[in-house]
Structure 1
C-alpha cells in the first residue's frame, strides 16, 4: 500500500504545490491521476518517488520510507531519465547495474515491438521514440510500483493504443500503477480508480465500477466535478 499523511510539497521556483492527507492506494490497484495542467499530478508522482523534499508529512510504501523501496519502483516520465549519449543497449547495461530485477531480454523484446534502433545514440531519437524507450526501460525493471507521468505524449492515437496495450500486457497483475494523463477516454477501461486533483488538492476520488453501476462514464464524472465544485470557479 502507498500511504500519504499530511503531505505538503512545494517548489520555490514555481506555483506547483501539493497538500494531501489520508490518501491510501492498495497494492495491485491501477489509478488514474487526473486534472488540468498545474493541478499537482506530476508533483504527486514525484512526491511518491521521493524526488525532492517534502515541507511536511510522510509517504510510506508497505509501511516503509520510499527510499527503501526504490528497487521495486519505476517512474516513467516525458522528461526522461535516459542517458542521451548512450545507445539503448548501453543504457540497459547501465540500468541492470542499479536494478537487480532489470530484465535485459524483456527490454530487447520491447525495443523490437516499438521498432526502436538498439545501437543508435538516444540523443538522435524523436520525442516519441524517447518516450517509448522510457516506457521500455520502466517495464523492464519489473517493478511492483509503476508510476507513469503522461506516458502517451508525442504519440498519435494509434501509437497511444498500442503503447497502452503493450504496457498492460507486460504487467503481471499484482502491480500498483499510477497514471497521469489528459486522455481519460483511453484509460477508462484500464484503471480501477480515478483521483481528481485541482490546485494541489484532491477534489474527487471514485471507483470506476461505481461509475458503471450509476451508468456514468469517466468523462461524465469529470464534468460533474467541474460543475459542482466551487474550486473550479475561483
Structure 2
C-alpha cells in the first residue's frame, strides 16, 4: 500500500508542483495517472519513487518510508538508468547487481520480443527502442511496485497495444502498477482506477467499474474535470 500525507513538492526552476494529502493506493491496484502536460503526473511518480526532496509531508509504502523500499520498486521512463555507452547486455549486468530479483532470462526474452540488439550501444537506439528497453528492464526487476511514466510515447497505435499486452502478460498478479499516459482510450480497459491531476492537485479519483455503472467513459470524466474548479484531496 502506498500512502501520501500532506505531500508538497515544488521545483524552484520550473512551474511543476504537487500538493496531495490523504491519497492511498492499495496493493495490487492498476492505476492510471492522467492529466494534461504540467499537471504533476511525472512529479507524482518521482515523489513516490523518492527522487528529489519533498518540501513537506511523507510518502510510505506498507508503512515504511518510500526511500527504504527502492529494491521493491521499478521506475520505467524514457530517461532510463542506463549509461549511453552501455549495451542491453551490459545493462543487464548492472541491473543484476542492484536488484536481487532481477530475472535475466526473462529480460533476454523481452529483448527478443522487442527485437532489440543486445550488443549495440543504447545511445544509437531510437526513442521507441529506448522505451522498449526500459519496459524490458522494469518488468524483469520483478518489483512489487511498477511506476511507468508515459511508456507509449513514440509508438504507433499497434505498437502501443502490443506493448500494453506484453506488459500485462508479464505481471504476476499482485503488483501495484501506476501508469501516466495521455492515451486514455487504450488504458481504460486495463486500469482499475483513474487519478486525474491538474496543476498538482487531484481533480478526480474514481474506480473504473463505478464510472461504468454511471454510464461514463474516461473521456467523459476528463471533460467534466476541465469544467470544474480544483479542489484539495483530503
| 1:193 is the counterpart of 2:181 | no
2:7 maps to what in 1? 7
For residues 153-208 of structure 1, give each alpha carbon's deviation from its aligned partner in whole angstroms, at most 9, with x where no partner exists.
11111110010000000000100000000000000000000001000000110000
Q: Once superposed, which parts of structure 1, at least 4 consecutive aligned residues long, lie more than 4 Å away?
A: none
Spell out the pairing of 1:80-119 with structure 2 (5 A cutoff): 80-119=80-119
For residues 3-49 of structure 1, give each alpha carbon's deviation from its aligned partner in whole angstroms, at most 9, with x where no partner exists.
00000000111100000000000000000000010000000000000
CA distance in structure 2 between the aligned counterparts of 1:132 and 1:181, rounded to whole angstroms: 16
CA distance in structure 1 between the aligned counterparts of 2:130 and 2:78, rounded to whole angstroms: 8
How far did 1:111 drift?
0.1
CA distance in structure 2 between the aligned counterparts of 1:104 and 1:128, rounded to whole angstroms: 21
CA distance in structure 2 between the aligned counterparts of 1:154 and 1:135, rounded to whole angstroms: 14
CA distance in structure 2 between the aligned counterparts of 1:103 and 1:122, rounded to whole angstroms: 20
1:230 maps to what in 2? 229
1:177 maps to what in 2? 177
CA distance in structure 2 between the aligned counterparts of 1:150 and 1:39, rounded to whole angstroms: 13
Unpaired segments of 5 or more residues in structure 2?
Answer: none
Spell out the pairing of 1:201-212 with structure 2 (5 A cutoff): 201-212=201-212
Unpaired segments of 5 or more residues in structure 1?
Answer: none
2:131 maps to what in 1? 131
Spell out the pairing of 1:32-111 with structure 2 (5 A cutoff): 32-111=32-111
CA distance in structure 2 between the aligned counterparts of 1:12 and 1:89, rounded to whole angstroms: 38
3-state SS in 2 of match to 1:148: strand
Per the normalisation by structure 1, the TM-score is 0.97
* RMSD value, Cα: 1.0
Per the normalisation by structure 2, the TM-score is 0.97
How far did 1:221 drift?
1.3
CA distance in structure 2 between the aligned counterparts of 1:121 and 1:79, rounded to whole angstroms: 15
2:159 maps to what in 1? 159
How far did 1:223 drift?
1.1
How far did 1:215 drift?
1.4
CA distance in structure 1 between the aligned counterparts of 2:219 and 2:81, rounded to whole angstroms: 32
